[in-house]
Each structure stands twice: as structure tokens, then as C-alpha cells.
Chains A and B, each alone.
Chain A
Amino acid sequence: MELSLTAEQTAFRDEVHAFLKENLPEDIKHTQTSGGHLSKEQHQRWHKILGDKGWSTPLWPLEHGGTGWSPVEYAVFDEECYRMGAPRVLPFSVSMLGPVLINFGNDEQRERFLPGIRSGENWWAQGFSEPGAGSDLASLKTSAVRDGDHYVVNGQKTWTTLGQHGDWIFCLVRTDASADKPQTGISFILIDMRDPGVEVRPIITLDGSHEVNEVWFTDVHVPAENLVGQENMGWTYAKFLLQNERIGIAGIGQSKEQLVSLRRLAAAEKKNGKPLIEDPSFRAKLSEVEIELRALDLTNKRMLVETERGMDPGPVSSMLKIRGSEVAQRLFELKMDAAGLYALPFQPEAGDAGWNDQLAGTLAQARSAPHYLNTRKISIFGGSNEIQRSIVSKMMLGF
């Protein structure tokens, strides 16, 4: 048994480190490490830099622009990115849509869409959830009715992350309302968000940020060639897409980085005249979450290696998501508590590009409560932790 990185893996980490040091723009690093919101331009600029290097779609098959990295190498890459203050490439196009097109799309679709995903030029949004279809995703109602050489789409999607920047949206739509089971009448379709009848409405969240949106479709005409795979097979593709997310789902890189910044914040704060980081009750809380993260890191890598050998990834991704979200939320909570009274002034734009209006406390303190509030979402989205537990229970306990 050998739990540390091999010489090759260490060399790989050094290579990633050197690349990031050379190529990560200072402003992007600043916004990322300040915990602010990256602008569309910053997201796309970073995506393109990685794309030019051939690293924007590392987990894709080699022939489509993947890197051939092993899951452990990908984890090393992910952690190094966070360590260096580089943002993670958004998952919607690269981790969600890309693999679906590669596995279930046709050559024409791959030729048309994969290059724009690799370069980040096309901004893809995800249209799955609806107001009445959250945990019970299969009850979705947005309809697509075939009319000659196109579909007519009507309905509403919600929680569309960064849909305000979107060029395209991949959607689950109901193409057969009379199917026996709700899962069997669903198709996977690509919609140009600039088409007439598509309307994006912002949803402001309790931390004061605009990340998510409602997307409304009114008689939107979508060419039939934008259907991915077969009609009424969309649920299968969606399940594949969600499972495919397992690498990186535990958020290890981000949590390790949060741990570092929590320590930094606690070193700057004082309690009873000494740095907070030296306070025994704070140290006990810090150690507790640090040990949980250490266990998660090893479990994540152990499971990645085992799924490589053919272990069923289903329950693994759910387990990693459950514990990963809990660890991340705990870190943000400790950070807010460490910030003390200066967690309370509401400065939701603190750290964003161009923000220069510091009213109270340090930037880390100002970000702490909005981050705590914002990360309540990570145990809700992508299948709530309750749903994840049901998945594990069904697969491992049989009920």
C-alpha cells in the first residue's frame, strides 16, 4: 500500500503548478481568492486559456480533446487549481453536456458543438428543474411538440445557474405526455437562448447574488436536428449526465482551499487578546472539520481508484456528494463564526471585480456570511442530500 503520490503524479502536479503560475491572470486570481463573483468575461477568458492548453475538457475521450488523465491526476489538477487561486471551469458544458454529446449525440452535433465547449466560446446553461419538478425531476412539464422539421417548446425551467450569460441551454422536455411512466416521455434537446420566445428572469438569492434564473419558453421553434439521441430517451441521458459528475463532486479542492483561508482568517482575528487560531475551543472545531476533510479526501481517492476498476459509481457519487457538501458547509460556517461581528454588515458585492466600497471589516469577513448563506444550496442542488440518501439506500440496502 502506498498512499502518497507517485513520482509521476508529483511531476504532474509540478507541471500544473508551473502552468498556473505562468498563465493565471492576476485579476481572475484576485476575484477568485477574494470570494467574489467572476464576470462572464473572466470565466470565458480562463476557460479559453485552459482550452488552448488542451486542459479545459480533461475527462473527455482523447479523440474528442481529453487529456487521458487518470481520476487521481484529475483530482491533483483540481486541487492545484484551487490552491493557486484558479477558478474551476463551469461544469455545465464540459462535465454535463459534453459527455452526453460524445456518447449519445451524432457526428454533426459533435462537430458543431464540441469545439465551442472546449474553447468556452459558447456559454451553456442547464434546463432541468422546474417549479413543480425539483427532487421529483421526472415530473417535469415543459413540452416539446413535433411540428414538421422542428419542435415547439413551451414551459418554464428554474434554478438555471448563470443562465443570464447563456448562449445555449440543454433541456429536458416532455415529448410524450401519454407515456406510462413519467420517465419515458422525456427528451434531451438543445435550445438557442437567443431564439424568439426564450426569456431569462433573474432570481436573487438570500446572499444578495444573482446566480440563478428562471428561463421561460413561449412557442420557441427548435430545429429537430437539435434533439440529442432518440426521442423519449432523455431520462437515460440525464441519469448518465448526473452520474458522470462524480469526479470532483466531493469538492475536495475547494474545501482544502477554504480550510487554508479559514486558518488565515482565524490568525488575523483575536480572542481574549490572542489570535483566534490559538484558542482551544476554536482549534477543536477546526480539527474536527479538518479530520473529516482528510477522511473525505482519502475516501474520494480510494473510490475513484475503485470505480476505475469497475465498481458501480452510483452510490459512490451520492456518498461523496453528501459528505462533501456537509464538509464544505461546515467550513463556510466556521468562517462566518470566526469573522465575529463583522460577518453581519451586508456587503453582497464585496470582492466582485471592480468592487471598492469597503464599509466594514476585512474582505474575508465581509464575504463570510454571504458565502455561508450561498452554500446552503450545495445540499439542495443536483439532487438534494435527502434524494442522495435514498439513492444509496436503494442501491446498497435494497429499500
Chain B
Amino acid sequence: MNFDYSEEQKMLVQSLERTLAKTYDFETYRSQLATKSSHDPALWSSLAELGIMAMPLPESAGGFDGDHTDIALISAELGRRLVPEPYVSNVVLSAFVLNACGGENATEQLGEIATGETKHAVGFYEPGERHNPLALGTKAEKTADGWSITGHKAVVLGGDTASKLIVSADAGGASLFMVPVDADGLTVRKYQLLDGRGAADLIFDNVSVGADALLGESGQAEAIILDAVDRGAAALVADSLGAIEEIIDMTKEYLRTRTQFGRPIGSFQVLAHRMVDLLVDYEQAKSMSMEASVEADNENATARQKAISACKAKVGAVSRKFGKESIQMHGGIGMTDEYALGAYVKRLLVNETMFGDTEYHLERYSSL
């Protein structure tokens, strides 16, 4: 047994760290948010050049055949720097779905993800269905030359920047379709999430697509959907770990340097002990996140789901506690938009809630 990353993985992280250290600090993040866009083409292509998009993709599509531990390492760095780019929606969800569904266009489309050239997003969730990824209020009816889709997909991560949308719909059971963003009858309501990442609601009103829009076989997508969501969850958990490490650094520094009553506030036991509890929580969360990144690739669906749910529930609860406690220990300054802490707290909230919140995963864990 070992918990080590390979030399290649360490080098990848170092180059990503270096690039982000040069090009993306908190001020860059703030000015990007001010543009009301989650996406900066220059940053996106510099990330693509590093190979972080190609990393987990199959060699046939120009990728490096990496695994989910690669994704976890990359996600942690993106979380640590608050990068809002649509990495998870493209490289984790869309790439996995395209690869799993196969078909003649899959390799070409995966190649576009590997280079960062075309952006995709995946929509499973629906309004009023909470965290159930198998909700199928959206229907796809067979037409003479393809399909007609009607329905509503909620809070689609990366849906604000994608030109190709992969959505689940009921076509005699769960099925997946690829729809271009400019299809007639499709309304895309774009917005930013709490932390600046982008998303959209997709509203389909008799949207006609060709027969080739169907990915894989109709009615057979359930297992792929559940697998994709687990991979998304494992990536976001790693993203949260990166954010938590940054919160720990900021809070430790504040406890050391902020003086009240003539001494550093960290010397007050009530704060020091709570910080220690957070450090223990972090170690627990980190272990679970490592396990999730390994188990995300497990072909035994029950074992995979159990590990992912355990991890998502654990890291979710720890994240919530980190958010509350780090702000409380900072006091007023932790409440301000100008100070980075709040942005990390919001990033954790989004990661906690996407791809099943803590309650959803606790319940799924206990049902497995």
C-alpha cells in the first residue's frame, strides 16, 4: 500500500502550479468575475497547452490515457486558485460520457476536448427533482428523421460556455443526446454560480435533432449517468481539498498575526482548539478524497458508489464546517468580498451541492 503520486503526476502538478502562480492570482479572479464571465479564452488555452485536458483522455483522441488520480490532482490546483474555467464539465463529465457511449464521432469529439477547442457540458438534473441524476421529466420523441426533445435541465455546470450540450432524456428509458447550443427551440439561461463558475438552465421546447444526436443506445444510459456523476463528484471533492488547504493557510496566518487584547488571537485556547479540530477534519477528508480518486475508476459499480458517497458526504460536512469556522475565526474581515476567504467558502458550497449534496450521499451510502 502507498499513497504516493507518480513522478509524472508530480511534474504535471508542478507545471500547473507554476502556470497558475504566474497568471492567476486572487486579483485576476476578481477582475474575471467583474466581466460576468466564467471563461477566459487565453487562460483556457494555456491550460490546454499544459496537457491537463488531454491528460485523462484516451490516446486515440490525442490524450495520455491518465486516470482519475490525475483528474484529482488537477482539480485540487484549480480549486486552490479559484479558477472558474469549465474543466470538470468538459474533461470529466463530457469526456467520460462520450468515451462511454462510443460511436463514430466520439473520437473526434474527444479530440476537441483534449485540445480545449470545443466546449461541452452535461445536463442530468431537473427542477424539483433535487439531487436525483436519473430524473427524466425531459422527453425525447422519435420523429421521421431523428428526435424531438422537450424538457428542462437545471443548473448545468459549464452550460454557459458550452457549444455542445449532452443531456439525458426519456426515450423509452434513460438516453443521452448531443444538442448544439444554437438548436431551434432551445433556450439557454446563463448565469454565474456563487463562486464565479458558470452554469445554465436549458429549456427544450420541441427541439429537433438528427438521428445521430443519440449517444449510445436509447434507454440504456442509466449506468453511464451514475458513473459520470460519481466522477464529477470525485473531481469536485478534490477541488474542495485544494480550497480547504488554502483556507487553512489563510486562517492559520490570521490567528498568528491578528492581535486583540495585546496578543495574537491564536493564543486564545478557544480558537486554537477549534483550529486543531479543523486540521483533524482536513486529514480525514484528504484520506477520503484519495480513496475516491482511486475508486472512481472501479468497474464494480456498488463498490465505486459506496466509496464516492462516503467521500462526498464526509468532505461535504467538513467543507460546511470549514466555511463557518474560518469566517468566524476571521471575524468581520472574513465576511468581505475583497478578502479571498469568502470566495473559497463559496467554492466549497458549490462543490458540496453539485453532484449530490451531503444528505443525498449519506442516504445513498446507507442504501448500498
Interface residues of A, Cβ cutoff 8 Å to B: 129, 134-136, 139, 158-159, 203-206, 208, 212, 269-272, 276, 281, 329, 336-337, 340-347, 359-361, 369, 373, 376-377, 379-381, 384-386, 389
Could you tell me the distance in whole angstroms from the C-beta of B70 to the nearest C-beta in chain A?
A: 27
User: Does B10 reach chain A (CB closer than 8 Å)?
Assistant: no
Q: How far is the CA of A206 from the CA of B348 in the complex (A)?
A: 13
Q: In this complex, what residue of B is CB-closest to A374? A: B335
User: Does B337 reach chain A (CB closer than 8 Å)?
Assistant: yes
Q: In this complex, what residue of A is CB-closest to B323? A: A376
User: Does B252 reach chain A (CB closer than 8 Å)?
Assistant: no
The secondary-structure label for the interface of chain A is: mixed
Could you tell me the distance in whole angstroms from the C-beta of B274 to the nearest C-beta in chain A?
A: 10
Q: In this complex, what residue of A is CB-closest to B345? A: A206
Given that A135-B260, A206-B342, A344-B199 are known contacts, is A360 also in contact with B155, CB under 8 Å in the complex? yes
Partner pick for A134 among B268, B332, B357, CB 8 A cutoff? B332
Contact B342 A345 (CB under 8 A): no
Contact B337 A204 (CB under 8 A): yes
Q: How far is the CA of A16 from the CA of B38 in the complex (A)?
A: 49
Contact B328 A380 (CB under 8 A): yes
Contact A208 B337 (CB under 8 A): yes
Contact A346 B194 (CB under 8 A): yes
In the assembled complex, 26 residue pairs joining A and B whose CB atoms fall closer than 8 Å, in A order, are A129-B332, A134-B260, A134-B332, A135-B260, A206-B346, A269-B128, A270-B128, A271-B130, A272-B132, A281-B359, A336-B349, A337-B359, A340-B130, A341-B154, A341-B155, A341-B353, A343-B353, A344-B194, A345-B194, A346-B194, A359-B191, A360-B154, A360-B191, A376-B327, A376-B334, A386-B271
Given that A134-B331, A344-B199, A376-B328 are known contacts, is A281 also in contact with B194, CB under 8 Å in the complex? no
The secondary-structure label for the interface of chain B is: mixed
Contact residues, B231-262 vs A (CB, 8 A) = 260-261
The count of A-to-B residue pairs whose CB atoms sit within 8 angstroms is: 120
Q: Which residues of chain A are near B65, meaning CB under 8 Å?
A: none
Q: How far is the CA of A206 from the CA of B347 in the complex (A)?
A: 12
Could you tell me the distance in whole angstroms from the C-beta of A84 to the nearest C-beta in chain B?
A: 30
Could you tell me the distance in whole angstroms from the C-beta of B123 to the nearest C-beta in chain A?
A: 11
Q: How far is the CA of A261 from the CA of B201 in the complex (A)?
A: 25
Contact B191 A347 (CB under 8 A): yes
Could you tell me the distance in whole angstroms from the C-beta of A181 to the nearest C-beta in chain B?
A: 12
User: Does B193 reach chain A (CB closer than 8 Å)?
Assistant: yes
Interface string of B325-346 (1 = CB under 8 A from A): 0011001101111100011011
Q: In this complex, what residue of B is CB-closest to A379? A: B328
Q: Which residues of chain A are near B195, meaning CB under 8 Å?
A: 346
Contact B130 A269 (CB under 8 A): yes
Q: Which residues of chain A are near B261, meaning CB under 8 Å?
A: 135-136, 139
Given that A205-B336, A360-B189 are known contacts, is A341 also in contact with B331, CB under 8 Å in the complex? no
Given that A206-B337, A206-B345, A281-B363 are known contacts, is A344 also in contact with B193, CB under 8 Å in the complex? yes
Q: How far is the CA of A338 from the CA of B336 in the complex (A)?
A: 25
Contact B324 A376 (CB under 8 A): yes
The 10 closest A-B pairs by CB, nearest first: A206-B342, A136-B260, A204-B337, A341-B155, A340-B130, A345-B191, A270-B128, A344-B193, A359-B191, A376-B327
Q: Which residues of chain B are near A134, meaning CB under 8 Å?
A: 260, 331-332
Could you tell me the distance in whole angstroms from the C-beta of A266 to the nearest C-beta in chain B?
A: 11
Contact residues, B184-200 vs A (CB, 8 A) = 189, 191-196, 199
